[in-house]
Structure 1
Amino acid sequence: MSANKEVEDPPPLESSFVKTEEKKKKKKKLTKAGRKKLRQEQTETFSKHRRIIASDKTAGDLQLERDLFGGEAELVETFEKKAAAKREFQQVDDESEDDDESGIAEDEIPEKKRKKKNIKKPVWVDEDDEKTELGQVVNAYTRGKHQKLEGSKHSYKNYVEKRFESVYGSSPDWAKVKADDAKDEDDPLLMRSTVYLDSKRDALPAGDIRLEFCAELNSEQIEGSLQAVQFHPWSQVALVAGTAVVVSLYQVTVTETNCVFHATRSIRFKSRELRSATFSANGNEILVGGGMKSRNLFVFDMLSGETKTCFFPKDRQFPCWQHIAVQPDGEFIVGKGYGDEENCVHFISGSSKQWISTVRLSDTVKAFCFSPCSNYLLVTGGYGDEENCVHFISGSSKQWISTVRLSDTVKAFCFSPCSNYLLVTGDGGYIHVVDARLRRCVKRYNDSGSLVGTAIAFSPCGNLLAVGNDSGVVNIYNAESLLNDVSSKNMDPEPMKTIMNLVTTVDILKFNHSSEILAMASSRKENAVKLWHVRSRTAFKNFPAPGKNYGKIMALDFSLHSGFLSFANNKWKAKLFRIPFYPSF
């Protein structure tokens, strides 16, 4: 094209993508024939405009354009598709805005539509789960002379679900699909953050506590003299164990009017005696320890219903399992030896239940516990000159780390929630603060009015420390100030409150999950149990109820969210109480 030739300005290209409100209204009124005519006009305008622009391009540019975008017809078709897609999107958006502006309340939407909106589809579904039959699974594991299951057409998936519900009760809340409009108040993950969550709801009132006696959990009393009562870590199940070598599981259900519970299973173990029973760290197993006559560790699988007996090397005098410590992360189980190996601590694998290693100490082992962070195992014990020692063992390598010698015989101990400090009490009435990182005693306080400390407990929030003694007195301290003053030379701290409701040795101190209730009990006298209101620093007046005899308290536990309280006494009974202030289990 010559430079002198004047090029006409192309007619304005009317974009099919930019749509004003006026064009929207016009297009809604156009008929099918009108829309077709409009598209033809736009195509002709676009083609004319493209030919004028192409006159300035070289042959190479045109060939490259055809290779990338195709010919003229293909390019027009591509833009038409994009324009149609955008028109459709804007039309849907306009309709949704019209619906919002129409003022239709959500309650007026039909129930079926609301349900469809709230239903969530599973991320992944295995089609084989629906096809697999119970007989196929059983026969796959049947060998030799064992009788096969013939003709069973039941769904294996339904069988497993019923099996789970028979052990743990109904499906856990986290496994249920929740609607979009459901409240988050009952979310189990949120309810575990008790320090922040409880501050938003009403505080537990002082004075009288509303405590409803449900019944004895073990109404048949087949467990014998009770040794343990414990609630499941996450399910609505309670465990009761006794000297009859029987462990019973009870499902506890909360309803609007009352609580319903029933025995789901009773397991009798092939042992001469039972010394301890506890849930595993993940809650899928029950660990049962035999005594001097039967030194085996029994493991009951709650899902399969099978019992496994753990045998250990014959050259080792293994634990009598009077006390079982389970590492918080579930990796190890610990027991102490007897006889010539009373000074030994045995590590058992939490998964395979096989013996791993033995740590031999200089003195007899009496008690032990893991730190909340699982890094340390603390062991106490010994006689004579060794009664005032605490031994630190690595939770990972199972090797002895160091021994801290205190000034008094150790009676009770506990870790702080952060695992940085170990607090010990015992003869002499002192509170020893041991730095777990330095493995040395950094401070010693005089427990006010105490001669022999017998129990000690941290509140879950970490702000309070309760210390009980042999006179039945319980002192409550501000734990933060107690630990922050370890480097100073301040005088002995004064307790925030001195509780004198008991008159015999304090054996049990237990805070509930929100640190609002402190339960204290003594096994030396009948009815020696009290519930203390932490915020007001007063005891609940109506518990124990007048005229009621609860016997001597041997074990006590709160449920996961403090909805229930249960304690075992010397009369072979595990009493169950409902605390209606806490709606959840």
Structure 2
Amino acid sequence: MKRKNTSLDEEENRVSSLLFNKSKKFTENISSQENEIDVDIKPAWVDEDDHQLAADIITKVKSDGLYTQKLKQKYEVLVGTPKWAKITNQKDDSNKLTKTVGHLKKTKSRGLKKGILEIHNFPRINSKSRNEGRLITAVEFHPKLSVALVAGQSGVVSLFSIGGEDKNKLHSFQLNRWRVSAAQFDPDGTEAFITSKTSHDYYVYNLVKAEAKAVQLPQAIKRATSFRLSPNGKLLAASDTFSEIYIICAKSKELLKVLKTSTNIESLAFDHNSEKLYSYGISGEVTIWDLSTYRAINKFVDNGCVTASCMDISACGQLLATGSAEGIVNVYETQKLTTRDPLPLKVISNLTTKITNLKFNPTTEILCASSSFYPNAIKLVHIPSYHVFSNFPQRNVQQVETTSFSPNSGYMALGNNTGAAYLYRLKHYKNY
């Protein structure tokens, strides 16, 4: 037993070191450097007579100012102010370090242009493992570190470092007799919530301890076909395709509320500030729930929808995208969803098979729509022009099961039905 505990401790320390120690040390170094910056600019020598002699001692000059001020003005007119004499704001200088060091620098860029997407193909994320299963159903980027989680139908969950040509595998673990259907990181990036459409349990993987713990869903749920973690990490929403939605506290794992609809649930989505929940019924009915009162504040039927499939809400909270089995994607403005029959802002009909995945990028400039029923059935749509980028996909990606964007849209990933997790660099975005 001692030997087993020792190996677990060593594994925990190894994963914690790989994932967190570098970032912690980097942050501490930045803080210490900022504290050391203490610039107090004072004149090296002061002549008391400079504050007494008036400018009128100069021939043919009548002025109430000081003699030294007059000489300074004349010098700047003729020569200009030298660099060594320019005094910059002390506060601005002290903040310069945090604006220019490494990934802390936030580059201002213009809006993404339509037409051609500047994109670079990287090697597969899981090229060194390829044991996550034939169907890659989850590819998720860590919210703070350059790390990606890859999982699939074999039950193997792997973590890889992102950012170079060589994808370093950090850690992997096996969930026995378990098929992963989705995974989400909490906002802090310390835990990953892993679910399966064929199980009554879900797993919470602690990245610091390198430990996966099984948690049972409420007894009424046989299997969570829809499972979502709120953006603030406080709530879980689950449904088993029937008309009930179960709201669970993410921390205590206790059931908070059961929401009942008039139709079987096909998809769920939290809004950007975790104040509302959108449910998408199989017949196309969208219900908007107020999570402070657990009441429905509006219902409407998705325009032209016969059979619903999936939906997503933009990170800014202004757009809602719905996908149907007919291959149609409707995009709505959330502020205008106050009637029973709102009209979509845009109807996208570039795909002809069932929409199985919708994903906005974090800047709401790209909407990724894909179908796992046909090879290469994936489109990247530019927002707000809603033109499809003509140069994607550049290679055969087979049947796409899942898509994901990194926190600042610098990377995009997709998993397919051949066990591959593809990685792309979106050059327009400068940060991970």
TM over 0.5: yes
Q: Quick one: distance in 2 between partners of 1:416 and 1:217?
A: 30
Q: 2:407 maps to which residue?
A: 560
CA contact (8 A) 2:192 2:206 kept: yes
- How far off is 1:557 after superposition? 1.1
Counterparts of 1:545-556 in structure 2 under 5 Å?
545=394, 548-556=395-403
| 1:261 matched to 2:166 | yes
- How far off is 1:478 after superposition? 0.8
CA contact (8 A) 1:250 1:261 kept: no
| 1:416 matched to 2:271 | yes
Q: Quick one: distance in 2 between partners of 1:263 and 1:413?
A: 34
Q: 2:188 maps to which residue?
A: 282
| 1:271 matched to 2:181 | no
Q: 1:224 maps to which residue?
A: 133
- Greater shift, 262-271 or 290-299, is seen at 290-299
Q: 1:471 maps to which residue?
A: 326
| 1:461 matched to 2:316 | yes
Q: Quick one: distance in 1 between partners of 2:411 and 2:15?
A: 25
Q: Quick one: distance in 1 between partners of 2:285 and 2:406?
A: 32
Q: 2:228 maps to which residue?
A: 369
Q: Quick one: distance in 1 between partners of 2:420 and 2:243?
A: 36
- How far off is 1:163 after superposition? 7.4
Q: Quick one: distance in 2 between partners of 1:442 and 1:265?
A: 45
- How far off is 1:245 after superposition? 4.1
Tell me the number of residue pairs that the alignment of Structure 1 and Structure 2 aligns. 361
Question: Equivalent of 1:446, from 279, 301, 310?
Answer: 301
Q: Quick one: distance in 1 between partners of 2:139 and 2:295?
A: 35
Counterparts of 1:50-449 in structure 2 under 5 Å?
166-167=18-19, 171=23, 174-177=27-30, 180=94, 181-182=96-97, 184=99, 201-220=109-128, 221-225=130-134, 226-253=136-163, 259-269=164-174, 271-275=176-180, 279=185, 282-284=188-190, 297=203, 299=205, 301=207, 308=211, 310=213, 335-336=216-217, 345=218, 360-361=219-220, 366-373=225-232, 376-381=235-240, 387-393=242-248, 400-449=255-304
Deviations 1:335-380 (A, max 9, x none): 43xxxxxxxx2xxxxxxxxxxxxxx438875433343445544332
CA shift in 2, pair 1:309/1:398, >3 Å: closer
Deviations 1:108-144 (A, max 9, x none): xxxxxxxxxxxxxxxxxxxxxxxxxxxxxxxxxx979
- How far off is 1:537 after superposition? 1.8
Q: TM-score, normalised by structure 2?
A: 0.71
- Write the letter of the residue equivalent to 1:250: F
Higher RCO (C-alpha under 8 Å, 6+ residues apart):
2
5+ residue gaps in structure 1? Answer: 1-141, 148-159, 192-196, 254-258, 311-318, 320-333, 337-344, 346-359
Q: Quick one: distance in 2 between partners of 1:528 and 1:378?
A: 29
CA contact (8 A) 1:290 1:297 kept: no
CA contact (8 A) 1:458 1:464 kept: yes
Q: Quick one: distance in 1 between partners of 2:146 and 2:307?
A: 38
- How far off is 1:514 after superposition? 1.0
- CA-based RMSD: 3.8
- Write the letter of the residue equivalent to 2:314: S
- Write the letter of the residue equivalent to 2:159: L
- Write the letter of the residue equivalent to 2:167: H
Q: 2:69 maps to which residue?
A: none
- Write the letter of the residue equivalent to 1:368: F
Question: Equivalent of 1:496, from 321, 328, 345?
Answer: 345
- How far off is 1:287 after superposition? 6.0
CA contact (8 A) 2:323 2:329 kept: yes
CA contact (8 A) 1:274 1:288 kept: no
Q: Quick one: distance in 1 between partners of 2:427 and 2:359?
A: 19
- How far off is 1:247 after superposition? 3.1
- How far off is 1:392 after superposition? 3.7
Q: Report SS of the residue matched to 2:168.
A: strand
Q: Percent identity?
A: 27
CA shift in 2, pair 1:370/1:270, >3 Å: closer
- How far off is 1:210 after superposition? 0.7
- Write the letter of the residue equivalent to 1:518: L
